[in-house]
Amino acid sequence: MHNADIARVFGEIADLLEIQQANAFRIRAYRNAARVVVGQQLDLAARLAAGGELPKLPGIGADLSAKIHEIAASGTCALYEKLKRQLPAGITDLLHVSGLGPKRVQRLYQELDVQTPEQLLRAARDGRLRGLPGFGEKTELNILQAVEAQLKRPGRHKLAFAAQYAYAYADYLSQGAGVGRVALAGSFRRMRETVGDLDILVTAASPATAMQRVAAYPEVKQVLSRGETRASVVLHAGIQVDVRVVAEECYGAALQYFTGSKAHNIAVRKLGQGLGLKINEYGVFRGPKRIAGETEESVYAAVGLPYIPPELREDRGEIEAARAGKLPRLVELADLRGDLHAHTKASDGHASIRDMALAAAARGFTYLAITEHSRRLRMAHGLDPRGLERQIDEIDRLNAELSGITVLKGIEVDILADGTLDLPDSVLARLDLVVGAVHSDFHLSRERQTERILKAFDHPHFHVLAHPTGRLIERREPYDVDMLRIVRKARARGRFLELNAHPERLDLLDTHCRMAKDEGVLVCISSDAHDVSDFEHLRYGIGQARRGWLTMADVLNTRPLAELKKLLRRAAGG
Ligand code: DGT
Ligand code: CA
Ligand code: CA
Per-residue pLDDT of the chain (574 residues; tens, 9 = 90+): 888 889 989 999 999 998 888 998 899 999 999 988 987 878 899 999 999 999 988 889 999 999 999 999 998 999 999 998 888 867 888 888 888 888 899 899 989 989 888 899 999 999 999 989 888 899 999 999 999 888 877 678 999 999 989 999 999 999 999 999 999 999 999 999 999 999 999 999 899 999 999 999 999 999 999 999 999 999 988 899 999 999 999 999 999 999 999 999 999 999 999 999 999 999 999 999 999 999 999 999 999 999 999 999 999 999 999 999 999 999 999 999 999 999 999 988 999 999 999 999 999 999 999 999 999 888 778 999 999 999 999 999 999 999 999 999 999 999 999 999 999 999 999 999 999 999 999 999 999 999 999 999 999 999 999 999 999 998 788 999 999 999 999 999 999 999 999 999 999 999 999 999 999 999 999 999 999 999 999 999 999 999 999 999 999 999 999 999 999 987 765 4
> What is the 232 CA–ligand 3 centroid distance (Å)?
8
Give the nearest ligand 1 atom to 265 CA. 29
Angstrom distance (rounded) from CA 454 to CA 474 = 27
Q: Ligand nearest 198 Cα, by number?
A: 2
Sheet holding 240-246, edge to edge: 179-185, 198-204, 240-246, 230-235, 220-226
Q: Using CA positions, which residue lies closest to atom 10 of ligand 1?
A: 186
Residue 69 CB contacts under 8 Å (≥ 6 apart), including other chains: 48, 54
Question: Could you tell me the maximum CA-CA distance found in the chain, to the nearest angstrom?
Answer: 77
Per-residue pLDDT, 572: 65
DSSP 196-237: SSEEEEEEES-HHHHHHHHHH-TTEEEEEEE-SSEEEEEETT
Angstrom distance (rounded) from CA 37 to CA 528 = 18
Per-residue pLDDT, 574: 45
Angstrom distance (rounded) from CA 481 to CA 453 = 9
The SS3 of residue 555 is strand
| Residues lining ligand 1, Cβ inside 6 A | 186-187, 192, 195-197, 199, 257-258, 260-262, 265-266
> 501: exposed, middle or buried (C-beta count within 10 Å: 0-12, 13-18, 19+)?
buried
Q: Residue 306: count other Cβ atoms within 10 Å of its Cβ.
A: 12
Residue 39 CB contacts under 8 Å (≥ 6 apart), including other chains: 531, 533, 534, 536
Contact indicator for 322, 308 with CB cutoff of 8 Å: yes
Angstrom distance (rounded) from CA 231 to CA 200 = 10
Sheet holding 496-500, edge to edge: 338-339, 367-373, 406-414, 433-437, 464-465, 496-500, 523-526
Per-residue pLDDT, 74: 92
> What is the 259 CA–ligand 1 centroid distance (Å)?
7
Angstrom distance (rounded) from CA 171 to CA 458 = 51
The SS3 of residue 343 is coil
Contact indicator for 530, 412 with CB cutoff of 8 Å: no
Q: Using CA positions, which residue lies closest to atom 21 of ligand 1?
A: 262
Torsion sign across C-alpha atoms 381, 383, 389, 393: positive
Per-residue pLDDT, 66: 96
Query: Using H for helix, E for strand and C for coil, what is the string for 445-468?
Result: CHHHHHHHHHHHHHCCCCCEECCC
Angstrom distance (rounded) from CA 133 to CA 313 = 51
Angstrom distance (rounded) from CA 384 to CA 78 = 41
Residues lying with their CB under 5 A of ligand 3, a single-atom ion: 197, 199, 242
Residue 332 CB contacts under 8 Å (≥ 6 apart), including other chains: 542, 552
Angle of helix 3-19 relative to helix 78-86, nearest 10 degrees?
A: 40
Residues making up the chain, counted from first to last: 574
Angstrom distance (rounded) from CA 554 to CA 131 = 51
Query: Using H for helix, E for strand and C for coil, what is the string for 504-548?
Result: CCCECCHHHHHHHHHHCCCEEEECCECCHHHHHHHHHHHHHHHHC
Per-residue pLDDT, 573: 59
316 alpha-carbon distance from chain centroid? 22
Cis peptide before 261 (omega within 30 of 0): yes
Per-residue pLDDT, 537: 95
β-pair type (278-280, 240-246):
unpaired
Contact indicator for 447, 383 with CB cutoff of 8 Å: no
Angstrom distance (rounded) from CA 7 to CA 101 = 21
Mutate to test the pocket of ligand 1, among 262, 282, 314 (most ligand atoms within 8 A of CB): 262
Mutate to test the pocket of ligand 1, among 184, 190, 258 (most ligand atoms within 8 A of CB): 258
Give the nearest ligand 1 atom to 188 CA. 8
